[in-house]
Chain A
Amino acid sequence: MASEVIHTAGAHAEAHEEGHHELPARVDPDVALSELVATTEANGSAVRTWAWILGILSLVGIVSFGVKVGIEWGDQAKWGYTAAIVAFLFSAFGGAPLVAIAPMIAKANWVRPVARFAQLCSLVSIVISIWMIPLILNLPMLIVDGARRRSIWFEGPDVSPHIWAVVALTTLIISSVGLIWAYGMPDFAVMRDHGTGWKQRFGNWAARGWIGSTVQWRTMRMRIGMMGTLYFFTFVFIHFMLSTDFAMSLVPGWRDAIFPMYHAISSIQAGLAVTVIGIWAARKYLGLEKYLHLDQFWSIGRLMFAFTLLWGYFFISAFIVFWYGRSGSDQMWIDFLILGPYFWVFIGAVLLIWFTPWWWLIWNKVRRSYNGTAIGAGLILAGVFLDRVRLYVAAWSVPEERIHERFLTEYPGTVYPDVMDILIMVGAVAASVLLVILATRVLPILSVWDVQQFNLLYRPVDYMKTKVSLIGKPD
């Protein structure tokens, strides 16, 4: 009997394997500490150059933003691309922290080196809140021409969408900062003890007297749990609000119960992609090969693959109901949002979000390579961007006076981005990336304490003829 069991273990291993890859070696705690703290200083000049470039780009974005406000204020159709980029940033960077939160709850060991970067992405909500201002102000009121338009706020006060957008944004910023802080406390203490200059002073302030006592660790876990949950619920709410108030309810006749979920699913997909690209860059430019292994890429790659398929599923769920239903509003959905003015954008989105990553990531060899996973992630990001353009630009192009129709019968034409739109979009992305890069100057891009725990809880061991890893699961 005993031998049976052992054979099973062997068979498990072989079943998965094509090319065996070496189990990652454990890293000495002191080395890990000094190397990870050093990343906050690493590549000083290169980072400075990039920061300048990104800073200028974001400044250009903000300036063209101001110009656009000056000339095109109040013209709803002109703000479609701004809405699209806001939705995209929300989806991509806002979804990333979930990559940290969910596996942490499931006690997955692989996520530990990745969690910090994923959480830092949520800082982008600060950038988004600036870009959201014109959108919130240009959103039609609930009562248009004396009659109430369709919205999820039903009989609510006239400015409900506007107020809730502000509330949701504020909560998101608070919860993302809270999450980063709660999770970063031991690392702030590390900066306090091992950093220099202003970082040391900042670490001293932010660590709130962290000494690593049992009580502090327990409190910290509780805080992470609370902040993580808060972030998750804010995330869900914000997708619900964004997808309905800023897209669906602007198009008369578009009644699509799955749309908020679809929005959130593609957001998590994009969040995974951002995380992959982030750790890929960290590995390549910050020399963190010792800490970021195939294990991380493989696990995220697998999730990315799963969410790619889920995207297809959620899309089909909506599509088949409209396509088969053939009622007036059903036909409108297909004619306007798919076959209509943004047909080629839609084709591009489907190819990039779903079809190509599907057949790319299904290949185990790809998921077992750093570059392959990163390419898949890049495709997905581009696809999600196109998808947001398709949905939001179309929704914002519907003239306000037609909002009371039962469903749209004539569709507005394609809206192309003008120079300002492009600059605003580039600026928004630049500002987001810049913010994350700046954050990694304060906190190590890989969390020191989590990397240490990863090493503690993981042992490569020999098991009969094969090598396996032993992973601790503390309660």
Chain B
Amino acid sequence: MQQRRTIDQIHTNRVLLNGQLDTPKWWAPTVITLGIIVAIGFFLIGIMVNKGLGVTGLSRPVYWGLFITTFVFWVGISHAGIMISAILRLSQAEWRRPVTRAAELLTVFSLLTALMFPLMHAGRPWRIIYYIVPYDFARGIMPNVRSPLIWDPVAISTYLTGSTLFLYIALLPDLGNLRDRTTGWQKAFYTILALGWRGNPRQWKLQTVGGILLSALMLPIFVSVHSIVSWDFAVTPAVEGWHSTIFAPYFVIGAVHSGVSAVVTMMALMRWLWKWEDFIRPEHFDALARLLIVVATGWLAFTFLELIFAVYGLDAPEIELRDMQIFQWPWNLLFVVFVFTGYIIPVGMWLQKSVRNNIALMFWSSLFVNIGMWLERFMIIVPGLARKTPFVYTWEAYRPSGLEWFILFWSLAWVTFLMLLFSRFFPLVPLFEQKESQTFGDSIKIGRARVPAIVREAD
């Protein structure tokens, strides 16, 4: 927004459609490499389902470990999409435009990935059908709606459905665009997907209304998803570190922190890989970094409250748990890494204007945030279980097995793989949003100065 740049629409079309019409050379080798990692990951999951969860490092009472951490992590990442495209849309922040699609995409794929973790982590995944489909009406055995584990799939699948619709609706104008620029099977493919998009006023109106309605409807879902995930933990009075009233908003704001950072990571990659310097600009990074400073500081306040009120009760087991979490090896190291990567390093960096406008530094700082946020979840889930209740006799530590680590790594590769696959067929930067922002930008002359201005519809 700092300087108004005019980019003509032909240039926009040519550059932003390069993924589909002019696939870069690195694309195929990268996708194949990732595909191999993904295949190995699926194979290992198969082994785990076949042999049993003994192959993990889980024990008693650390019944939940790295998988649930990673599940929470991916659900957290999924909060990027709605944060960027719905909240910023409703609050009319202009700089959201080039990243909306990528953020929504991240939402969809990370939710898909997140859903797989509780499934593979169950003792008998094949019986999960009990979960999802109400069955056996004759004996009156329905899924137990009192269980947060029933709320979870309901919330996540609603969120997934909504996000997919949202993504699709925003994709329609670009699909029409692609249809007009391709031939052969590709044309047929895009023709079907474009649902007869011609860009007439009625279609634009429907598309806009649909987008705004979905934004508003998705907001409560956005909040509820991570709240429900947090209630998986918070409703359990037996685990000292979990039973905290702050968990729902704490998880949500942490999710926004990690999700928006993941979007920054992705924007940097998109800018480098597809050479979209004209469209993903330093000012977009700058705006996201400013937003992130606010979010991260809010999140830090929640972290602080969580810790204060954990110790507030002065219950011996709770103190013991916090002692392990913060002062005992190796958790003390993790704690320091968590505090530094989750807040101190990135926010310290973002406070400098030079960093906010430096894409490489933004890339690294956003990676730090996600390391920190993953650790945050890990440090909530595992020590709580390992130091459960005053029965010292059952206190245990937990060391994830190599297989668990690989599956964590697999999930990263899997999401990247899906993203790249998507990028081959659909543009990652919405063309129509880009053009709309060109039209909405203007300037006002005040005295001798020209002030950048923005068009707002009448209220």
Contacts and interface: CB of A to CB of B under 8 A. Distances in A.
Q: Classify A-B as touching or not with yes or no (CB < 8 A).
A: yes
B7 interface: no
Interface in A447-473: 456-457, 459-461, 463, 466-473
Given A5-B439, A9-B440, A16 B457 contact: yes
A12 B248 contact: no
A468 B456 contact: yes
B201 A10 contact: yes
A9 B313 contact: no
B435 A4 contact: yes
**Most chain-B Cβ atoms within 10 A of its Cβ — which of A1, A5, A15, A321?**
A321
A330 interface: yes
B302 interface: yes
Contact of A11 (B208, B302, B454): B208
Interface stretch (B27-35, B112-120, B230-238): B230-238
Interface stretch (A51-59, A251-259, A278-286): A251-259
A382 interface: no
Interface string B428-459: 00001001101110111010000111111111
Contacts of A6: 439
A347 interface: no
A466 B458 contact: yes
Interface string B413-426: 00000000000000
**Most chain-A Cβ atoms within 10 A of its Cβ — which of B220, B234, B246, B301?**
B246
Contacts of B244: 257, 321
B237 A330 contact: yes
B145 interface: no
B245 interface: yes
* A: interface residue count bin: 35 or more
Interface stretch (A76-84, A156-164, A310-318): A310-318
Interface in A3-28: 3-17, 20-21, 23
A2 B212 CA distance: 22
Interface stretch (B56-64, B131-139, B303-311, B393-401): B303-311
A5 to B, nearest CB: 4
Contacts of A295: 459
A1 B455 contact: no
A259 B243 CA distance: 14
B199 interface: yes
B205 A470 contact: no
Interface residues of B, number: 58
A469 B459 CA distance: 9
Given A150-B314, A317-B245, A317-B249, A257 B455 contact: no
B204 A317 contact: no
Contact of B456 (A256, A298, A327, A469): A469
Interface in A63-87: none
A58 B328 CA distance: 57
A247 B150 CA distance: 36
B305 A261 contact: yes
A231 to B, nearest CB: 16
A256 B451 contact: no
Contact of B208 (A15, A313, A473): A15
B441 to A, nearest CB: 10
B173 interface: yes
B455 A470 contact: yes
B249 A457 contact: no
Nearest to B444: A472
A327 B389 CA distance: 13
B23 interface: no
Contacts of B212: 15
B192 to A, nearest CB: 21
A250 B456 CA distance: 51
18 contacts: A2-B9, A2-B439, A7-B204, A240-B305, A256-B245, A257-B245, A258-B246, A258-B305, A298-B459, A321-B231, A325-B235, A457-B453, A459-B444, A470-B454, A471-B456, A472-B453, A474-B451, A475-B2
Which 10 A-B residue pairs are closest in the complex by CB-CB distance? Answer: A257-B309, A257-B246, A13-B457, A324-B235, A317-B248, A472-B451, A11-B205, A318-B245, A327-B237, A325-B237
